[in-house]
């Protein structure tokens, strides 16, 4: 947990939080780990007085046309058609849609794109987007792993198209490899994708040998890995790749399921590790990207581990 009051200003600019009640209306089956209570846990922890200076904004509904930045029209229409009028529809073995899922997914995209606008226009120093459904498993033409559309990929393309960013880096510390983001940018050297993740584990991708066009940097972690190995992966692989790439924007696919309490994996991180990793990425954003950094919630399924980790992450963003 963040113990001291954090300040939310970098050069007079705020750390912004985007969220929206619609994200609670993406309903999953009873017992499903990706559930609305995840956002309620985040909301409770960020209500602490330590976060009084956090600039809170309602996420805008996204422009559906921006989904085309990462996914073809035929796929988009197929997902739209799967959204039921009532009840819950199954997209794949563990991915579902309910009546408000389309609106939730589009609003998550709107929040991510608004966050990109904020950091390029200078209206926020950095931004955390607390949204669901998550996105990093969604490939170009496949929804999977609780994800409908790849929000981080769309935001990266949005930065390039709307703000003329030449190079965008996506750093993914979710415990599950972001196969979707890797798939979308596999042969695109203008986007660097870096991932730490448990291996072996779902979805089975993310080997060191998977390098795309030289723009994919995977740092798989063995089960039961702890802080030392995780931090070494950052110091030896992720951070040097960022320095070599010198991005105009850093996007974090911020999954917190590598926390030791999480039920879906076997990596033993603490909230201090997410604080540390956030600080390292902020240093690189300051060095290369004029501090431009956007963080998008991905996984994290133990409510206490998620809440404490988000508190550490957002607290570090606010400290500058």
Report the percentage of the chain scoring pLDDT > 70: 96
- Per-residue pLDDT band for 5 (boundaries 50, 70, 90) equals very low
How is the chain split into domains, by residue range?
9-319
> What would the pLDDT profile of 234-268 be if each residue is shown by its tens digit?
999 999 999 999 999 999 999 999 999 999 999 99
Confidence check: pLDDT of 13 > 90:
no
Q: What is the architecture, at CATH level 2, of domain 9-319?
A: 3-Layer(aba) Sandwich (3.40)
Q: Which string of DSSP letters, residue by residue, matches the chain?
A: ---SPPP-EETTEEEEEEE-GGGGG----TT-SS-THHHHHHHHHHTSGGGTT-EEEEPPPP-GGGGGGTS-HHHHHHHHHHS-SSS-EESSSS-EE-TTHHHHHHHHHHHHHHHHHHHHHTS-SEEEE--SS--TT-BTTB-BTTBSS-HHHHHHHHHHHHH--S-EEEEE--SS--HHHHHHTTT-TTEEEEEEEESS-TT----TT--TTTTEEEEEE-TT-BHHHHHHHIIIIIHHHHHHH--SEEEEEE--TTBTT-TT---BB-HHHHHHHHHHHHHHHHHHSTT-EEEEE----SHHHHHHHHHHHHHHHHH-
pTM score, whole prediction: 0.96
Residue 137 among the catalytic residues? yes
Q: Which string of DSSP letters, residue by residue, matches 272-312?
A: HHHHHHHHHHHHHHHHHSTT-EEEEE----SHHHHHHHHHH
- Per-residue pLDDT band for 9 (boundaries 50, 70, 90) equals very low
> What would the pLDDT profile of 256-309 be if each residue is shown by its tens digit?
999 999 999 999 999 999 999 999 999 999 999 999 999 999 999 999 999 999
How many CA atoms within 13 Å lie on the side-chain side of 316? 21
Say which of 71, 136, 137, 176 is annotated catalytic. 137
What's the pLDDT score for residue 194?
Answer: 99
What's the pLDDT score for residue 320?
Answer: 79
> What would the pLDDT profile of 123-175 be if each residue is shown by its tens digit?
999 999 999 999 999 999 999 999 999 999 999 999 999 999 999 999 999 99
Q: Please state the rounded mean pLDDT for residues 61-67.
A: 96
Please report how the helices 151-163 and 101-121 are oriented relative to each other, as an axis angle in degrees rounded to 10: 40
- Per-residue pLDDT band for 7 (boundaries 50, 70, 90) equals very low
In whole angstroms, what is the distance from residue 250 CA to residue 229 CA? 23
What's the pLDDT score for residue 8?
Answer: 43
């Amino acid at each position: 947990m963040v113990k001291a009051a954090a300040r939310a200003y970098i050069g007079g600019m705020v750390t912004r939080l985007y969220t929206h009640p619609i994200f609670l209306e993406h309903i999953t089956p009873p017992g499903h780990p990706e559930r609305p209570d995840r956002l309620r846990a985040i909301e409770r922890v960020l209500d602490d007085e330590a976060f009084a200076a956090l600039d809170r904004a309602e996420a805008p509904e996204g422009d559906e046309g921006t989904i085309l930045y990462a996914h073809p029209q035929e796929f988009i229409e197929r997902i739209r058609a799967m959204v039921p009028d009532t009840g819950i529809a199954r997209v794949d073995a563990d991915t579902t849609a309910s009546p408000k899922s389309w609106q939730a997914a589009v609003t998550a995209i709107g929040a991510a794109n608004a966050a990109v606008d904020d950091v390029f226009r200078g209206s926020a120093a950095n931004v955390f987007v607390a949204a669901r459904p998550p996105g990093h498993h969604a490939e170009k033409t496949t929804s999977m792993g609780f994800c409908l559309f790849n929000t981080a990929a769309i935001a990266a393309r949005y930065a390039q198209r709307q703000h003329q960013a030449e190079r965008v880096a996506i750093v993914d510390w979710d415990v599950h490899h972001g196969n979707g983001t890797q798939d979308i940018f596999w042969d695109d050297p203008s986007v660097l994708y870096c991932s730490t993740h448990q291996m072996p584990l779902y979805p089975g991708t993310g080997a060191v040998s998977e390098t795309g066009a030289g723009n994919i940097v995977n740092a798989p972690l063995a089960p039961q890995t702890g802080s030392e190995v995780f931090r070494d992966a950052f110091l030896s692989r992720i951070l040097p790749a960022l320095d070599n790439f010198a991005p105009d924007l850093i996007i974090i696919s911020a999954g917190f399921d590598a926390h030791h309490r999480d039920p879906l994996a076997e990596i033993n991180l603490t909230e201090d590790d997410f604080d540390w990793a956030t600080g390292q990425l902020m240093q690189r954003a300051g060095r290369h990207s004029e501090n431009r950094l956007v963080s998008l919630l991905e996984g994290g399924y133990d409510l206490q581990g998620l809440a404490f980790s988000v508190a550490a992450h957002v607290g570090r963003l606010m400290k500058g």
